[in-house]
Amino acid sequence: MTKDFDDVVSFMAAHRHIVVHNNKLSMTNGTLLFYYRHLSFISENRSYMVRDAHTNRVISSLDERFVVNNIEDGAVFITKGLPWKVLSVEEDMILVEASDRFEAAVPDWSGADIPVFRPVAEKVFKFFEEGNLGKVKLADDVLRMKLDEFIGQQNRSVRLRSDSIMIEISGDHTAIYCALGTLANEALSRLLVYMLTARYGKSVVVKSTPYMIFFEFDEKVDFGSLIASIKPGKVEELLENAVKGSDLFRYEFVTVAKFFGVIDREASVSKSVAKRIIRMLEDTPVYRETMRELMHNYFDIGTLSEFLESIKGRRIIQTETDSLSVFATTLLEATYNAKELVLPITPSSVVLDSFIDSILEKSTTMLCTYCGFKFTRKLSQIKDLEKIECPSCMSPMVARYTDVRDGLIKKRIAGKRLSQNERGGLRELLNEASMFESYGGRAAVALSVYGIGLKSAGRILMMLKHDYRDLFIDLIDGQRQFIRTKKYWSA
């Protein structure tokens, strides 16, 4: 028996899935249950709903694997053809707002593509080496002409070679062209990010394609020397170090741990809990199987090592340009849907219009703090009113209605003694009524926005924006700040 087999047997016995006695294996009461629950090796993924924080509209859903690998506060991704910035990740919901960045955007189909292997990538590069499509047959002569023109245009800036690495630098953007295919380029990109973060202590934006690795980094980097420093025989060891602390490793680890029965298959495991479990099980079959799965399924270590050995740090050509070449921009557009981006929120944006409509179609119920009368109005009807008066007594001292507030006013009108907590609630109610008296319909609108409380509403309303649309832009900013920070309030 191999050591791996012995380790797995010992691990399963320690978790009481089997019994080992006198070098014999036998079942426990839970062995059959464990067996039948783990017959399928297809992992069960959850889905996360993506909701626009400003319109409260559900945009799409994302697979758990994509969320684990790509989504965190501030991340930008593409779904439904548009880029979105993550404001907050909650239990089963991702709150987002529109973004205008495509370089950092990850498409929601990322990871689901069929890999392009090295021979295919090399064939594409051969077209650039030869300067045209050669003997490739196309039904459309116009298409052939356009592709030949495209190849010529690329070759006038950076001529691609399948046996070399071509590096194009334009400001903070770097395109590294290597015809290694999807999995080998993914491995190389992970290694380079690992080396850059270790050297500079900064995060790096990187996108890997079968033909090019794209970097956005604000430090001047000699990528040629960096690649040349990677020893072919050390690729797997370096890659293991690069991925072991990643979200990708954590996701795969949880999946493998569920197959081993360490974690219940229905359990939802947070990042902090997963990290603790990984530390506890670092030198176990679960950890080793996770790393084996990653190395085998996500990367092509053999192809990358072989290529690095063949170039021996010599066939690496680096050039600086005013702008990225046509092949780089076309790859980015095709891969990250750069043609379908929205602009930042401005007073004329469609996103802003949608947000305004969603707020103004609401109704709000108000309470008169003087006589206790309750009444309801649509925000679209009262938004322009300088004062909102009670229909019963004409007092402008009104505020939003709740059952608790209703009870407070009735108690005060009846002359009953208020507790300390009730006096605090009454002060808050009267402060809000003062805001309604000062700002009228604008106060009602501001306080109807999710995440806008009395203090933030007061700060926004004091800016006295003349254009109503500018007020809504400030409300969006206030809501965004609330969503970003609310998760830390209980910490």
pLDDT tens digits, one per residue of 340-367:
323 334 444 666 777 888 889 899 999 9
Q: Does 300 map to a domain? A: yes
Q: What is the pLDDT of residue 121?
A: 92
Residues 264-290 have a mean pLDDT of 82
Q: Does 345 map to a domain? A: no
Per-residue pLDDT tens digits for 386-406: 999 999 999 999 999 999 999
pLDDT band at 476 (very low <50, low <70, confident <90, very high): confident
Per-residue pLDDT tens digits for 314-341: 788 888 888 888 888 888 766 554 333 2
What is the number of domains present in the chain? 4
Q: What is the pLDDT of residue 157?
A: 84
Residues 29-44 have a mean pLDDT of 63
33 and 58 in a common domain: no
276 and 169 in a common domain: yes
Q: What is the pLDDT of residue 462?
A: 79
161 and 68 in a common domain: no
336 and 354 in a common domain: no
Could you list the residue range(s) of the whole structural domain that residue 451 is in?
Answer: 350-488
Asked whether the predicted pLDDT for residue 312 surpasses 50, the reply is yes
Q: What is the pLDDT of residue 490?
A: 45
Q: What is the pLDDT of residue 68?
A: 67
Q: 171 versus 54: which is more confidently predicted?
A: 171
Per-residue pLDDT tens digits for 92-143: 788 888 775 654 555 544 554 578 899 999 999 998 888 888 777 776 777 7
Q: Does 113 map to a domain? A: no
Q: Does 28 map to a domain? A: yes
Residues 164-173 have a mean pLDDT of 90
Q: What is the pLDDT of residue 429?
A: 94
305 and 183 in a common domain: yes
Q: How far apart are CA 384 and CA 344, in angstroms?
A: 27
Asked whether the predicted pLDDT for residue 435 surpasses 70, the reply is yes
264 and 330 in a common domain: yes
231 and 103 in a common domain: no
Last residue of a domain, one of 298, 320, 340: 340
224 and 249 in a common domain: yes
Q: What is the pLDDT of residue 262?
A: 80
Last residue of a domain, one of 308, 340, 372: 340
Q: Does 42 map to a domain? A: no
Q: What is the pLDDT of residue 367?
A: 95
Q: 464 versus 126: which is more confidently predicted?
A: 126
Asked whether the predicted pLDDT for residue 425 surpasses 60, the reply is yes
167 and 25 in a common domain: no
pLDDT band at 69 (very low <50, low <70, confident <90, very high): low
Q: What is the pLDDT of residue 236?
A: 94
pLDDT band at 80 (very low <50, low <70, confident <90, very high): low
- Average pLDDT of the chain, as a whole number: 81
Last residue of a domain, one of 297, 314, 340: 340
475 and 436 in a common domain: yes
Q: What is the pLDDT of residue 337?
A: 40
* Cβ-contact 121, 211 below 8 angstroms: yes
Asked whether the predicted pLDDT for residue 485 surpasses 70, the reply is no
What does the H/E/C string look like for the chain? CCHHHHHHHHHHHHCCCEEEECCEEEECCCHHHHHHHCCCCCCCCCEEEEEECCCCCEEEEEEHHHHHHHCCCCCEEEECCEEEEEEEECCCEEEEEECCCCCCCEECCCCCCCCCCHHHHHHHHHHHHHCCCCCCCCCCHHHHHHHHHHHHHHHCCCCCCCCCEEEEEECCEEEEECCCHHHHHHHHHHHHHHHHHHHHCCCCEEEECCCEEEEECCCCCCHHHHHHCCCHHHHHHHHHHHHCCCHHHHHHHHHHHHHHCCCCCCCCCCHHHHHHHHHHCCCCHHHHHHHHHHHHHCCCHHHHHHHHHHHCCCCEEEEECCCCCHHHHHHHHHHHCHHHCCCCCCCCCHHHHHHHHHHHCCEEEEEECCCCCEEEEEHHHHCCCCCCCCCCCCCCCEEECCHHHHHHHHHHHCCCCCCHHHHHHHHHHHHHHHHHHHHCHHHHHHHCCCCCCHHHHHHHHCCCCCCHHHHHHHHHHHHHHHHHHHHHCCC
301 and 229 in a common domain: yes
Q: 27 versus 393: which is more confidently predicted?
A: 393
Q: 271 versus 227: which is more confidently predicted?
A: 227
Asked whether the predicted pLDDT for residue 440 surpasses 90, the reply is yes
357 and 282 in a common domain: no
